[in-house]
A and B are shown apart, each in its own frame.
Chain A
């Protein structure tokens, strides 16, 4: 796998782990306290999905800091470099939105599939 994809995966780790944590931490509640898993968890996951999408849209993924580091070290930054930065930012945003949809999907699965089990 090339470098850039490895980096993208690093960025993706956080929302995926967040998703697993949300699902996993509530399992004990469900088992011991008659927590209504099927109703609450899909809502929480769904909301989190929206949050992840917003993060993807508003966060610069460290681009600002990167550019200021480039200036600080007196390196050149030309039009092409900037374009590249924008492109990467855009791709990351799409990935985060995709992850948002993954959240939605999981929410639906829990809501629809869980009662069938």
Chain B
């Protein structure tokens, strides 16, 4: 009796029900199994988080729920909304037919934003605005597409929507390029909310945004949820931090299957699936001491030939003989928590075998590189097209008066939002860009080299080139697709004429490949970049940077294209290489947690200037500059209890053309006072830790007290 009552209330409460759901894609290579046996319900007012690496089927699930699967998809099972089944076996609709004008105005990602009672914020939709039309026109078009509202009603809705998203009315008449990434993403969210949908799906809503913007978007979503503007929501991400902020329940997807499902608390604090456990372990965090993180070696199984037994078998350290033979069933840990594993609820803490980092770093006192008042400006008016097309000054102060030094065996991390000049600094240091002013002094092979004083053909120049190598952000771009791994790694050897002996060259390449854990190297020599996974590609790029035993390595966002499970492995590799070879490394990233994990010292950049520098522990635990404070506060912590509250920063990063005369941070600083506007702030120093501001910590605290 009691049971039936409970059942009934459950069904009434139930918004969306996905049942025994399968999706296959027919391709030339065979049938891709994208989703396999998906079952879940989304209740009224619930936020479900879907967590998984790229390729795990997250987007496919979202598109299926929207009823927008492509033509080559095959479906089994059903999806029910409010008791009405709208998607079942081979009965689905691939979107609404539009006329040519509508096709022209709206990009596909925006076109299908609303479908029935569900709306979606597609992955990367913020970059899908048509640059030619104003934001307002594109949002109006969505209304016209999906409703019969009159123009006046549409205008009213439009205004309301813009307000929900926390945007100014001006946005309506703005063109997409006039808005920052964060504003565009807000506009897309506004579109998704426009028609009061029952369910909002957000696919990677913060990927590609800076930490501070990300935190603001998360806050906005939370607020909308609280106000009831968002009723039920599905939030999709590969980022545990983002999911933990929003979701009540979490579903962990792996290779198209649900590995674990439960409340956020259960998943974070009591996860019972090896994949989830390992995934959580691979996140560096800034909250506790530098805890060792460990990636998950290997890759997703081939979606065309899904192996027998457990899909995670190849990468699982808990596995047993039975796992290979038969696929495990779902085991319930409690009413709302289940895991697809033979050993669910019996998992004992296990460590991967190869976790140890070799040796301790020996940080020397000799400086490998030092910059003195380094300045790099870009003057767009200098080029022919630039002087024809610019009607005003177009000088970018990308790097403005930077003084850094890296000792032997030291890792210096540089953090800052995109546009802060990190990459320009890196490229200037390795000599890809000529500095506008200032000096860079290297010490390689016991000779001092001043970049301004050497000639292109001198011996010093070749010593400098040989000892500065770079690992780029995107391993796809950096490796020539027509060259084999051997050619790629051997190229610097040939360029620097290190050896002419083919046998020796082969040995150098092989031992470097071994060093970056591409073993056995023979298996890789003849392969082409496209035959490698993302992680392997980044390792090849690293091998290429290491092959000459260079003394300084510059790594510019080397992990940003890697999947979460591979990042930790790559960072450990860098750590190991440093410890073994006493390398000096300049490590650049916008991800503070990873910089903290790797670096000995951290340098914080904002609009071309360094605003704070110190030991990485000091920077993270005791940030002094208002910008660093905000930056650290904005990093989401992967626990369900995290609440950043106010991030204490205004707006988004500006540009470095019309920089404020006084403090660079003036426009965004909540502590700013009269003199900040026109007077350059001094360096405040305690030991080696310094920051750039007019005020001491006590004074800043007082200002904040006063504001309250």
A residues neighboring B (CB under 8 Å): 3-4, 7-8, 10-11, 61-63, 65-67, 69-71, 73-81, 84-85, 88-89, 92
CA distance A88 to B394 in the complex (A): 17
23 contacts between A and B (CB under 8 A): A3-B387, A4-B387, A4-B388, A7-B384, A11-B388, A61-B389, A62-B385, A62-B388, A63-B389, A69-B383, A70-B380, A70-B394, A73-B396, A73-B398, A74-B396, A74-B419, A74-B653, A74-B655, A75-B655, A76-B178, A77-B177, A85-B389, A89-B389
Residues of B within 8 A of A88 (CB): 388-389
Closest CB in chain B relative to A114 CB, distance in Å: 36
CA distance A81 to B380 in the complex (A): 14
Residues of B within 8 A of A75 (CB): 380, 394, 396, 655, 657
Q: Do B389 and A73 touch (CB < 8 A)?
A: no
Closest CB in chain A relative to B318 CB, distance in Å: 47
CA distance A66 to B385 in the complex (A): 6
Residues of B within 8 A of A10 (CB): 384
Closest CB in chain B relative to A108 CB, distance in Å: 31
Known: A66-B380, A78-B178, A79-B175. A73 touches B388 (CB 8 A): no
Closest CB in chain A relative to B144 CB, distance in Å: 25
Looking at the complex, which one of A62, A69, A79, A85 makes contact with B384 (CB distance below 8 Å)? A62
Q: Do A11 and B384 touch (CB < 8 A)?
A: yes
How big is chain B's contact interface, by range?
20 to 34
Closest CB in chain A relative to B68 CB, distance in Å: 30
Q: Do A63 and B385 touch (CB < 8 A)?
A: yes
Q: Do B388 and A61 touch (CB < 8 A)?
A: yes
**Proximity bits, B364-397, A CB within 8 Å = 1, else 0:** 0000000000000010100111111111101010
The closest CB in chain B to the CB of A78 belongs to B178
Residues of A within 8 A of B653 (CB): 74
Chain A interface SS verdict (over half): helix
* B656 contacts the other chain (CB 8 A): yes
Closest CB in chain B relative to A61 CB, distance in Å: 6
CA distance A81 to B383 in the complex (A): 17
Q: How many A-B residue pairs have CB under 8 A?
A: 70
Residues of A within 8 A of B394 (CB): 70, 75
The winner among A7, A10, A11, A71 for most chain B CB atoms within 10 A is A7
B residues neighboring A (CB under 8 Å): 175, 177-178, 378, 380, 383-392, 394, 396, 398, 419, 653, 655-657
Known: A61-B385, A74-B419. A69 touches B175 (CB 8 A): no
The winner among B387, B388, B653, B657 for most chain A CB atoms within 10 A is B388
The closest CB in chain A to the CB of B386 belongs to A66
Q: Do A84 and B389 touch (CB < 8 A)?
A: yes
Q: Do B391 and A69 touch (CB < 8 A)?
A: no
Closest CB in chain B relative to A6 CB, distance in Å: 8
Q: Do B419 and A81 touch (CB < 8 A)?
A: no
Looking at the complex, which one of A8, A73, A79 makes contact with B380 (CB distance below 8 Å)? A73
Residues of A within 8 A of B391 (CB): 80-81, 84
Known: A8-B388, A65-B385. A71 touches B380 (CB 8 A): no
Known: A66-B389, A66-B390, A84-B391. A73 touches B655 (CB 8 A): yes
Residues of A within 8 A of B657 (CB): 75-76
Given contacts A61-B385, A62-B383, A75-B657, 5 further A-B contacts (CB under 8 A): A11-B388, A61-B389, A69-B383, A76-B655, A77-B177
The closest CB in chain B to the CB of A86 belongs to B389
Q: Do B398 and A69 touch (CB < 8 A)?
A: no
Residues of A within 8 A of B392 (CB): 81
CA distance A71 to B419 in the complex (A): 10
Q: Which 3 A-B pairs have the closest CB atoms?
A: A62-B385, A74-B419, A73-B396
CA distance A79 to B175 in the complex (A): 9
Closest CB in chain A relative to B9 CB, distance in Å: 53
CA distance A72 to B178 in the complex (A): 13
Residues of A within 8 A of B387 (CB): 3-4, 7
CA distance A61 to B656 in the complex (A): 26
CA distance A11 to B389 in the complex (A): 13
Residues of A within 8 A of B177 (CB): 71, 77
Residues of B within 8 A of A70 (CB): 380, 394
Q: Do A74 and B656 touch (CB < 8 A)?
A: yes
CA distance A102 to B392 in the complex (A): 33
Closest CB in chain B relative to A109 CB, distance in Å: 31
Residues of B within 8 A of A92 (CB): 388
Known: A73-B396, A77-B177. A7 touches B655 (CB 8 A): no
Closest CB in chain B relative to A30 CB, distance in Å: 35
CA distance A66 to B394 in the complex (A): 11
CA distance A66 to B398 in the complex (A): 17
